Amino acid sequence: MRVDLDERALLCDLMLEYGPDAPTLCEGWAVRDLAGHLVLRERRPDAAPGVLIPALRGRADRVQNEYAARWPEVVNLVRTGPPRWMPTSLPSVGKVANTAEFFVHHEDVRRAQQGWRPRPADAERDRALWGAVGRMAWLPLRKAPCGVRMHAEGHGEIVARKGTPSVRIDGAPGELLLFALGRDQYQLDFEGDPDLVRALTSSERKL
């Protein structure tokens, strides 16, 4: 089972179901914009650095918008994945680079719609997402106002940010990952000083 491939396929199906103008949890982006971002990321190494580097953002935005305008072709480009010459076309690289990316963006579309519910637990998916939490959570939480411990039943606990006092967050791996990466639609339990919990949940969380 390749969780990244499953999430990619499910996301593409959902984008076509809801259409290009449906909302997402990504501020300012409709579904078409999210699809354009994914194609930019996987197919345009000449422009993709602009996603992270402000000085290069103008070019990235132009390329993303060009792809976003090509509906529904842009969804087919997402579905077929990166070209063979991209490192992420290798299964070992794709698993690491794309599992969190496609799970989170799948949920960005799902949870922007009315009446969303968390998906049922899936052992393989949860294992992969817990691995992503361990690799990634420290970065978006590096500026958290307190220590952060993340616990998922059956998987263990990680210290996402060292410090005292701390807040413990309990939930499924996918919910923890969504929180760490700045989403506000999640189902988690927080244990700690209420003021610290409020400060943590309102703090900036991004890569």
The domain tally of the chain equals: 2
Which of 110, 141, 168 is the C-terminal boundary of a domain? 110
Dihedral through CA 140, CA 146, CA 147, CA 153, nearest 10?
Answer: -80
Contact status, residue 124 vs residue 3, Cβ threshold 8 Å? yes
Provide the whole-model pTM: 0.95
> 88-97 pLDDT, tens per residue?
999 999 999 9
Report pLDDT for 207. Answer: 84
Q: Is residue 116 part of a domain?
A: no
Mean local confidence (pLDDT), 144-158: 97
| pLDDT tens digits, one per residue of 6-47 | 999 999 999 999 999 999 999 999 999 999 999 999 999 999
Same domain, 100 and 11: yes
What letter would DSSP give residue 185?
Answer: -
Assess whether 73 and 150 both reside in one domain. Answer: no
Element (H, E) at 149: strand 147-152
Based on the fold, state whether residues 98 and 136 are members of the same structural domain. Answer: no
- Sign of the torsion angle spanned by Cα atoms 56, 58, 59, 63: positive
User: CA–CA separation, 192 vs 145, rounded Å?
Assistant: 13
Range of the domain at 144: 124-202
The dihedral through the CA atoms of 130, 135, 140, 146 has a sign that is: positive
Last residue of a domain, one of 56, 76, 110: 110
Average pLDDT over residues 132-143: 97
| Residue 120 binned pLDDT confidence (cut-offs 50, 70, 90) | very high
Average pLDDT over all residues of the chain: 96
- Provide mean pLDDT across the span 187-201: 97
Q: Please say if the pLDDT value at position 1 is more than 90.
A: no
Find the mean pLDDT for residues 167-175.
98
In this structure, the answer to whether residues 52 and 105 fall within a common structural domain is yes
* pLDDT of 134 higher than 80: yes
Scan for tokens 């077929």, then name that residue.
Answer: 80
Inform me whether the pLDDT recorded for 104 exceeds 90.
yes
Residue labelled with tokens 């410090």: 163
**Tens digit of each residue's pLDDT (9 = 90 or more) over 105-115:** 999 999 999 99
CA dihedral sign of residues 86, 91, 92, 93: positive
118 domain-assigned: no
How many Å separate Cα 141 from the centre of its chain? 14
Q: Which of 110, 140, 167 is the last residue of a domain?
A: 110
Flag whether pLDDT at 52 surpasses 90: no
Identify whether the C-beta of residue 110 lies closer than 8 Å to the C-beta of residue 187: no
